[in-house]
Structure 1
Amino acid sequence: MPPEARSVTLPPLSPLPKKQTLERPKIQEYQSTIRTLSGDLERIKTGQKLNGTDIERRILNIEKLPVPPKITPDSLSNVPLPPKPSERGITEPKLPEKEAPPVQKGNLLGNMISWGSAHKMILSIAMVVVIAMGGVGYYFLYLYAPEPTPGPTISQSPVPTTIKRLNDILGSMADITVNFPKTGNPGDLLSAAIQGQNVDKRQFKKITAVEMDSGQRYSVLGLFDRFFINYPANFKEALGAESAVLLYGQEETFGSDGKPTTIGPAGKKLIILSEIKDQTKAASALLSWEPTMVEGMGNLLNLDPKSASSPNFMNNTYREVNIRYRNFQFPDKTIDYAMMAANNQKIYLVISNSKEAIYAIIDKLK
């Protein structure tokens, strides 16, 4: 038999000693006099009063509104319904029935008469409508004329008008050519050429003065230079390009006794024309030229300065043209000059040795 086991009882273990924890000394924080949020929270927790101004607190009493009762389906079922009309003993009223009028028998003729008058009325209205429509249609077809709508107007460019030249105004005339040599008295040559011509009374002829050697045609200023005429310096600047020298047939002549006569051949008078481009300069030059004009132009116009009957120039007007003139022994011998507007809107200087001649050329240029 095996040996029996013995139970051994051990003594109870003693508990281990607890570890002793060393408490660290608390570090005191820096105490500041400035209020901080953490400091205020600690004072509130400990019940201390915070520094600062006390503000009185007022509690407002707000009245509570009454709570409305809740409506549920059960509460609606308990509400009594209004009674029905049958339960209240009320009967619905009946509307009165209208009786149809009795049909009158035997009134067929009256109905036909009323129908005939209505038919005539309808026809009358239809005829009025047809007549009105016909009148309206006739108006629109034959009488009505719609107003013309304004359209764009086509503006035509003005046709440029050609300005007539001096030769166009004078027209066709017989031409007399007078050749002047470089030497010799030009007045004698001109007088001989004029006396050899026949000119009708109140008619004109053109005189073309040509330099004999070169064949060049003289202008008015060139003719003045050939006759050694002294004129103001600004007179040359005032003249334009167009010029002409004319021979006029004088109708009224005077005998040696001073009596006028129209019998015999026409007297031969000279007319000088020149375009003016500066009217102010021309007027100033002519006025300054008047004291010596007769002496300077006596050889060209066949005038004797000693036989002048008036010492100075005088004023005259013919057809609204101002004329400056100076008389000599007889009225058929004068010196007249004027600045006039011709029918081509140009200004021309006119010089003549006869009053009748300057009137005739004014009529021609007008």
Structure 2
Amino acid sequence: MSQHPGWGPQDGQPGQPGQWQPPQGYGPYHQGQQQPYGYGQPYAPGPYAPIPPLPPKPGVIRLNPQGLNFGDIFGGAFATLGRCWRTYLAVAAAVFGLTVVVGVIFFLIGWLTAADVFTRVFEKNGPAVSGSDVATVVAILGTGVLILFLMSLYFAGAQSALAYTTLEEAVVGRRLTTREAWRRARSRAWAVVGVMVLTGLLALLPMLAAAAILVPVWMALHDGGGGAIAGGVALTILVALGLAAALAWLWVRLALAPAAAVLEHASPAAALRRSTTLVRGSWWRTFGFLLLAGIIAQTASYILATPLQIVGTLVAEASGDSAAVWIPLTLLLLIASFVGSAIVTFFPPLIAGLLYVDRRIRHENLHPELLTAAGENPGPTVSPT
């Protein structure tokens, strides 16, 4: 359960399946009746039965007790981007800038402390290079790459958590300041990183299985004839297709784990189990939404980043001075990379977060909790017959 007003499971337990009955008292009076007809009441006979009002929409989605449809999920994701784009860009810019600055500072320090070693190693016609020189360069570069990788991993988890944190409030019509959103996101960043690491380790299992099949086969076929090679190629294709299917199955089954880690404050292992439970019975639907979200994000990133890259290239070609060529081109390429990465970073998690909401509405009666969190009257809850 979150430590802030939210709509996670109470006391760590999901809601019981049920169907929401909207509050009474809405809709027109029927002739001869003393009480107004509303949600959940039977319509009186006659040719002019009242049209039931739409479910309430306090935030970015309409809170339908039957779950979310295609328009709700993608419309809600775009609406959340519209509400929170300043927060996303501010955090993405800070993360991007900090990563670049730390990388530049580290490699400058490495260069200044071992400039002669770098010169000897990378000079084409220089003196013979010793093993200690190569080891020094590898140690410096390897340490820098490791630091940047760990920073990038943490920031990826934090930005993913930021998407879910802002979505949690946007669903019920609330907004967070950038500072509060980042505070909540970074508190769950390591949990999301843990989910990413465990998912990666699980993905290694089918890869190792594929390698265990193919490596001995190709070693045995090393001196084989054309027919043996053709059989090896056919087997490789079959194993590659099986590996792709296994990785896709695993990706979808675990796709809602980051949302569970953030919105339910679950541990990484518990979040993976939670995702498996939520996706069960809806694998193909989840796969379709996630695949389309990735395509949209990549396409939008390409459309927005390409003009900046073209402008940078034109500016560089129009200038004869080397500094005037390098500086604007580098800046525009950095901006293009930043814009593209921001879209790819935040849009797919918003889709996954709304899929999480949809699964809980359909199977765990989350709908009344959402209405309560939004300040709406949830009405009575009855078990389905």
TM-score by length of 2: 0.19
Choose between structure 1 and 2 for higher RCO, CA contacts under 8 A separated by at least 6 residues: 2
Q: Which has the larger radius of gyration?
A: 1
TM-score by length of 1: 0.20
Q: Which structure shows the bigger proportion of residues in strand conformation?
A: 1
